[in-house]
A and B are shown apart, each in its own frame.
Chain A
Amino acid sequence: MQAEKRSGKTGFLYKDNVVGYIFAAPFIISFLCLTLIPMALSLYYSFCNYKIAAVPEWIGVQNFANLLRDSTFGHSLLVTIQYVIIGVPLKLVFALFVAMLLTKPTRMQGFYRAVYYIPSLIGGSVAVALVWKQLFGSRGPVVSLIKSLGATGFNFFGSTTWAFVPLVLCNAWQFGSSMLIFASGLKQISKEYYEAAEIDGAGAVKRFFSITLPILSPIILFNLIMQLISGFMTFTQAQIITDGGPNYATNYIALNIFKEGFAFQHMGYACAQSWVMLLIMAAITGIIFKTSSHWTFYES
């Protein structure tokens, strides 16, 4: 009797759909609360004159019109693109290089992979940014080395030309996740290709460009897109290390948006910037996808 009653009340729990929804609930709820609703709100705010904790006032496309005339925003776009164009290929080349080194089967392979992955684990943390600030700072070891070579008065973060270099290097240093994906891709490449190529007399360089790269190209595409997106969103290092300076040399878009929204209290304007940034990222990703059929190669 008791068992029957229980199954009567809780019976719906045993339906497949319900189970599915329950297991997906944590994601669905967080996606709604932390992604979808905030995105919808920010789209609305981008058409408003809005200050945090105040009532938004609808102003149409005024924010977007102002963006066109905003030289600071334009400059931010420019330096962000510069950062991405230099930073992303550097990171990918480095990740592929290390991944290839680590495909040689040795007893320590697992250990090395773990070690190279650590920088990515601690990711965009403030602590890492502070360490790089010290490392490349006016009295850090890198600047001391450069000065000992005769460049008196040199200082990365004091120069609009050089300030971005440590930021790009810091980003490239966190190559772990790309490296792991490359490594697993490299493992998939059949040894037979290499053996056949070797018999035909192909050298290491030829083998790399004619076998490894083409077969790896879908994975390169994936890594490229992921890194492009994270490159466009770079924030922590610029905020902690350079505060966007000097003279806006490292004032990346994400940092600019943060300043507008929180420091200057123009949240509506900041939301408009975010949406423009999203459109630009979507356009670039779209172009890469469109052209990818010309340079990616699928074995099957």
Chain B
Amino acid sequence: MRKHLIALLLVAAMLCAMAMPALAEKAEGWNNVNAEGYEYPDYSGKTLSFMWWGSDTRARMTEEVIHLWEEKTGATVEFEWYDGGTYWTQFQAKMAANDLPDVFQMGNNWLTYYDTIEPLNAYIEDGTIDTTAISPAMLATTINQANGDVTGMSNGTNARCFAYNPALFDEAGVAYPTENWTWDDFAAAGRAITEATGNPAITTLEYNSLAFSTVTQWKEGYNFYAMDGSDFAFEGDTEPLAFIFDLLTTLQKEGVIADYGIQNEIGTNIEADWIAFGDAAMIMLSSNQFQALSNVAAESGITLELATIPRVYADGQSGMVVRSSQEMSMWKGSEDKEMAANFLNFFVNSIEANEILNCERGVSINSDVLADLKANAELTNEVTAKVYTIIDLIGSFPDAANSSPAEPAANEEISDVLKKTYFQGLAEGKFASAQEAADQFWAEAQEIWAKY
């Protein structure tokens, strides 16, 4: 009898303890890690797994933040990281084995991996992930417009743009890119630099996104994919595609753009790009990669600058967009989602952590963090200031909001054939003209879409 009583009392005590947090009305921002006297949850003996992609620079910073969190919470973080290409191979293998890490980095291709992602809505609503310093517009960069699911916490915003080496522009006697420079300016500068240096002036280009942004640049209202990623917005005017096919292929044949072998060698390893060693003058990149690239370039005494993507018409659309560079997502199968949510909260919101990360993944979406970083002269150096400037500039273009946060699931395959069958096929002379390649691409893109 006494045993029963004790057992009952224990159960009652447990239930009370469980109900307590629910009963106590939580104040907004209760889990604000930056608040004075904030007490970190105790995760001693627990293990969180975490995986990301990126450069060596990113790995160093991220590990430091991981150790900081381990110190504060007593948890152990098992982490792994890869370069951007290998990451997805690993991700897919782990996905097939149903053994993903609790927290993983995710790109705007999240629609492709939607089944693996735990929506964060519940954790944001109950405040475990504190969004008091994050604007709704910033939060929206990772929301599935179709159903309102929050697919992850954005690690910051970025924009695709160009990095260039002004010293090589000077050497060739050409003007620096302006904020509305055109493809003609781009071609002229490239040709002059290649003539002066004997090397390809441009080593890295993201062919698919250039093709898509040329569509946007062509005419107001044009876009390749619909805003919510549910369909094409493109209606079959293939002229802009033919234009960019022709331009880039011609420049490559002239040796102004590096051949596909060189581009593939550099791959996603931005720190190995020729521009960092003074051999190339321009590359296309995501603005958040600029830090890692500049670090390597600085070792060779090279200072790089950022520029916008060239336009079709100087007074036309920019075709550029400020987007979530990447997000931190939670695995649906995670065994301790509360801990994972707290880690996300720390990673995105902690000023202390972000002073280490320093917007290398993208310009922070947390206004407190960003204000702190900008006010810190040691952290906001010349390099990061350039990133802030270009993001502000691109954000000010009227058409910059004109793009979907989601890459449709078919995008991976469409982009792959766009590059390998059409861009590379045109270079190999497999199409009579750029226009023919563009028309066939559009036909195949629709076929691919139908498969998903």
> Could you tell me which A residues sit within 8 Å of B by CB distance?
52-54, 72, 133, 137-138, 153, 155-160, 163, 242-248, 251, 259, 262-266
B93 touches A159 (CB 8 A): no
How many chain B residues touch A (CB < 8 A): the figure is 32
Q: Which residues of B contact A159 (CB under 8 A)?
A: 259, 261
Instruction: Verify A157–B265 contact, CB threshold 8 A.
Output: yes
Known pairs A153-B255, A263-B413, A264-B416 / 20 extra A-B pairs, C-beta < 8 Å: A72-B421, A138-B258, A138-B261, A138-B262, A155-B259, A156-B261, A157-B260, A157-B265, A158-B260, A158-B262, A159-B261, A163-B261, A244-B420, A245-B260, A246-B420, A247-B421, A247-B424, A262-B96, A263-B412, A266-B451
Does A54 contact B115, Cβ atoms closer than 8 Å? yes
Decide: A245 near B428, CB < 8 A? Known: A53-B96, A153-B255, A263-B88: no
**Chain A proximity of B53: nearest CB distance (Å):** 15
Q: Is the CB of A52 within 8 A of B261?
A: no
Contact residues of B between 195 and 244, Cβ < 8 Å to A:
none
Interface of A is mostly: loop
> Please, could you name 19 A-B residue pairs with CB atoms under 8 Å apart, sorted by A?
A52-B95, A53-B96, A53-B98, A53-B116, A138-B265, A156-B261, A157-B260, A157-B261, A157-B264, A242-B261, A243-B85, A246-B264, A246-B420, A246-B424, A246-B427, A247-B421, A247-B427, A263-B412, A264-B413
A-B pairs with lowest CB-CB distance, top 4? A158-B261, A157-B261, A158-B259, A247-B424
Residues in A neighbouring B261, C-beta threshold 8 A: 137-138, 155-159, 163, 242, 245-246
Chain A residues near B255 (CB-CB < 8 A) = 153
Q: Write out the residue numbers on chain B whose beta carbons fall within 8 Å of the beta carbon of A245.
A: 260-261, 264, 420, 424
A155 to B95, CA, bound (A): 37
Give complex CA distance A159, B98 in Å: 39
> What is the distance, in angstroms, from B275's C-beta to the closest C-beta of chain A?
14
CB-CB under 8 A from A264, the residues of chain B are: 412-413, 416
**B104 CB → nearest A CB, Å:** 15
Taking CB atoms, residues of chain A closer than 8 Å to B112 are 265
Nearest CB on A from B244, distance (A): 18
- Interfacial chain A residues near B88, Cβ < 8 Å: 262-263
Among B88, B92, B264, which residue has the most Cβ atoms of chain A within 10 A? B264
Nearest neighbor of B89 in chain A, beta-carbon distance: A262
Chain B positions 239 through 280: 1 when the CB is less than 8 Å from some CB of chain A, otherwise 0: 000000000000000010011111011010000000000000
- Asked whether any CB of chain A lies closer than 8 Å to the CB of B60, the reply is no
CB atoms of B259 and A247 under 8 A apart: no
A157 CB contacts on chain B under 8 angstroms: 260-262, 264-265
Bits for B406-438, please: 1 = Cβ < 8 Å to A, else 0.
Answer: 000100110010001100110110100000000
Which chain B residue has the least Cβ–Cβ distance from A247? B424
Instruction: Assess whether A155 is in contact with B424, with CB atoms less than 8 Å apart.
Output: no
A247 near B428 with CB under 8 A, answer yes
Contact of A53 among B115, B264, B267 (CB under 8 A): B115
Q: Given the complex, which residues of A lie within 8 Å of B115, measured CB to CB? A: 53-54
- Contact at A155–B262, with CB atoms within 8 Å? yes
**B262:A263 contact, CB within 8 angstroms:** no
Q: In whole Å, how far is A258's beta carbon from the nearest beta carbon of chain B? A: 8
Nearest B residue to A137 via CB reads B265
Chain A's closest residue to B88 (CB) is A263
Asked if A52 and B92 sit within 8 Å, CB to CB, the answer is yes
Given that A52-B92, A247-B420 are known contacts, is A133 also in contact with B425, CB under 8 Å in the complex?
A: no
- Cβ B92 vs Cβ A262 within 8 A: yes
Contacts of B95 in A (CB 8 A): 52-53
Q: Separation in Å of the B114 CB from the closest CB of chain A?
A: 10
Closest Cβ of chain A to B82, distance in Å, is: 12
**In the complex, which residues of chain B have a beta carbon less than 8 angstroms from the beta carbon of A263?**
88, 92, 412-413, 416
List chain B residues, Cβ under 8 A from A160. 428
Closest to B263 in A: A158
Chain B residue with minimal CB distance to A134? B265
Instruction: Determine the chain A residues whose CB is within 8 A of the CB of B427 once the complex forms.
Output: 246-247
From residue B205, how far is it (CB to closest CB) to chain A in Å? Answer: 14
The residue of chain B having its C-beta at the shortest distance from the C-beta of A269 within the complex is B451
Q: Which of chain A's residues has its CB closest to B266's CB?
A: A138
Question: Whose C-beta in chain B lies nearest to the C-beta of A54?
Answer: B115
In whole angstroms, what is the CA distance A279 to B412 when docked? 29
Residues of B within 8 A of A54 (CB): 115
Q: Which of A53, A137, A159, A246 has the most CB of B within 10 A?
A: A246
Give B419's nearest chain A residue, CB to CB.
A245
CA distance A243 to B264 in the complex (A): 8
Task: Chain B residues near A251: list those with CB within 8 A.
Answer: 420
Give the chain B neighbours of A52 by CB distance below 8 A. 92, 95-96
Residues on A with beta carbons closer than 8 Å to the beta carbon of B267 = 243
Task: Report chain B residues within 8 Å CB of A243.
Answer: 85, 264, 267
* Alpha-carbon distance between A192 and B264 when the two chains are bound, in angstroms: 56
Most buried by A among B255, B416, B420, B427: B420
In the complex, which residues of chain A have a beta carbon less than 8 angstroms from the beta carbon of B89? 262
Residues of A within 8 A of B412 (CB): 263-264
> In the bound complex, how far is the Cα of B416 from the Cα of A244, in angstroms?
11
CB distance from A218 to the nearest CB of B (A): 40
Complex partner residue of B409 from A156, A158, A265, CB under 8 angstroms = A265
Q: Which residues of B contact A72 (CB under 8 A)?
A: 421
Please determine whether B260 and A246 come into contact, CB atoms closer than 8 angstroms.
Answer: yes
Q: Which of chain A's residues have a CB closer than 8 A to the CB of B96?
A: 52-53, 262
Q: How far is the CA of A138 from the CA of B280 in the complex (A)?
A: 14
B273 to chain A, nearest CB (A): 13
Say yes or no: B420 contacts A248, CB within 8 Å. Answer: yes
Distance A169 CA – B89 CA, assembled complex (angstroms): 26
Contact across chains for B264 and A242 when beta carbons are under 8 A apart: yes
Contacting residues, chain B, for A266 (C-beta < 8 A): 451
Chain A residues, CB < 8 A from B416: 259, 263-264
Which residues of chain B from 95 to 153 have a CB within 8 Å of any chain A CB? 95-96, 98, 112, 115-116
A214 to B112, CA, bound (A): 57
> What's the least CB distance linking B395 to chain A, in Å?
32
User: Which residues in B have their C-beta under 8 angstroms from that of A163?
Assistant: 261
Residues of B within 8 A of A155 (CB): 259, 261-262
| Distance of B90 from chain A, by nearest CB (Å) | 10
* Alpha-carbon distance A156/B259, docked complex (angstroms): 10
Over the window 321-349 of chain B, the binary record of Cβ atoms lying under 8 Å from chain A Cβ atoms (1 yes, 0 no) is 00000000000000000000000000000
